[in-house]
Structure 1
Amino acid sequence: MTTEAFNTAEEVRRLLDEGRISEEALQAITGITPEALRSFVSEDANGLTAEPQALSGDQGARLSVLAAQLTVGMRIDDDQRLTSIYESLTVECRLSRSSIAALTGIAIEDLERVLSDPQAVSFEKRYELAIKGAYLINAVNLARGN
């Protein structure tokens, strides 16, 4: 098994070059100024520069997470992503399955079924679970200040 280092500047540059995201969208999502973004993606491939760092540590970390989610994360299977939403809500947020069912209006049986075998749930029900789970994750992230 080989592991490759994730080069954030290279991945962001590729996303921009391929037209998968615009500089304006990156600025709106991250709050990083266009000048700082341009400076960051134009740095030497090794990240070596005589100039001060274009991004603060927090900005670099947030941009790195975003770039990873928009590249590597997009390759995750949809059923795996769906179960991960609900696993995050139960493990990280400590919401019980019954609380999630009550908050989303989803039958607990459907929630249990999708967590054990997403393919055993109809496409329509998986769609409902995905939409409601994404909404709940967004609510949690807003409350966390993410």
Structure 2
Amino acid sequence: MTVHGQDVAADARRLIAEGHISEHALQTVTRIAPERITAFLTSSTAAGLSSDEPSLSPEESARVSTLVAHLAYGFDIDDDERLRAMLEALTGECGFTLQNISRLTQVPVDEVTTALHDSRTLPTETRYTLALRVSYLINAANQARAR
């Protein structure tokens, strides 16, 4: 994903103003104290351009930046590309084989393989089923990772 904006707080304020996320949800997802999120959102400078003490720690800033980038620009990614990327993440980053994914999702391994290379050739119902179940696997893997 490419970075489109440099002012994460401005992007977050825009997402809130457009109803894509609430300040409460931003705080809940990132697990950052409400007063720190509020301070971050009311900041008027781009990251790194202020001599004031930052409202977020570097780690908190990274979490907020990642979430805001995904919400602001991630939906520009084609769904077929997103499915391929999720399959690549499961195999490359999580160590699942295509056979593991097939068994867990109950989608035949040849269809999982096809989805990895060109999911547009699969029936819509198969792509939908695979996308939902692979998304669940990504979530399960993320929740199991050390924090």
Q: Does the TM-score normalized on the shorter chain lie above 0.5?
A: yes
Corresponding position of 1:17? 17
Deviation at 1:113, TM superposition (A): 1.1
Q: Any gaps of 5 or more consecutive residues in structure 1? A: none
Question: 1 CA distance for matches of 2:146 and 2:6?
Answer: 26
What's 1:125 paired with? 126
Q: Which residue of 1 aligns with 2:95?
A: 94
Q: Does the 8 A contact of 1:16 with 1:22 survive in 2? A: yes
Equivalent AA in structure 2 for residue 94 of structure 1: G
State TM-score, norm by structure 1.
Answer: 0.91
Q: TM-score, normalised by structure 2?
A: 0.90
What are structure 2's unaligned runs of at least 5 residues? none
* Cα distance in 1 between the residues matched to 2:80 and 2:106: 20
For 1:108-141, what per-residue CA distance to the aligned partner results, in whole angstroms no more than 9, with x for missing partners? 0110111121111011000100111000000000
Question: Kindly, what percent of the aligned residue pairs are identical?
Answer: 39
Instruction: Kindly state the Cα deviation for residue 77 of structure 1 after the two structures are TM-superposed.
Output: 0.5
Q: Which amino acid aligns with 1:100?
A: I
Q: When the two structures are aligned, how many residues end up with a matched partner?
A: 144
Matches within 5 A, 1:1-146: 5-47=5-47, 48-49=49-50, 51-145=52-146
1:23-65 CA distances to partner (integer Å, 9 max, x unpaired)?
1111111111221111111112334445421111111000000
Of stretches 67-76 and 44-53 in structure 1, the one that deviates more from structure 2 is 44-53
Contact 1:43 1:49 (8 Å CA) reproduced: no
RMSD: 1.7
SS at match of 1:52: coil
Q: Deviations over 1:63-121 (max 9, x none)?
A: 00000000111110011101111011111112111111122222101101111211110
The 2-side partners of 1:96 and 1:39 are apart by 44
CA distance in 2, matches of 1:70, 1:46: 19
1:7, distance to aligned residue in structure 2 (A): 2.0
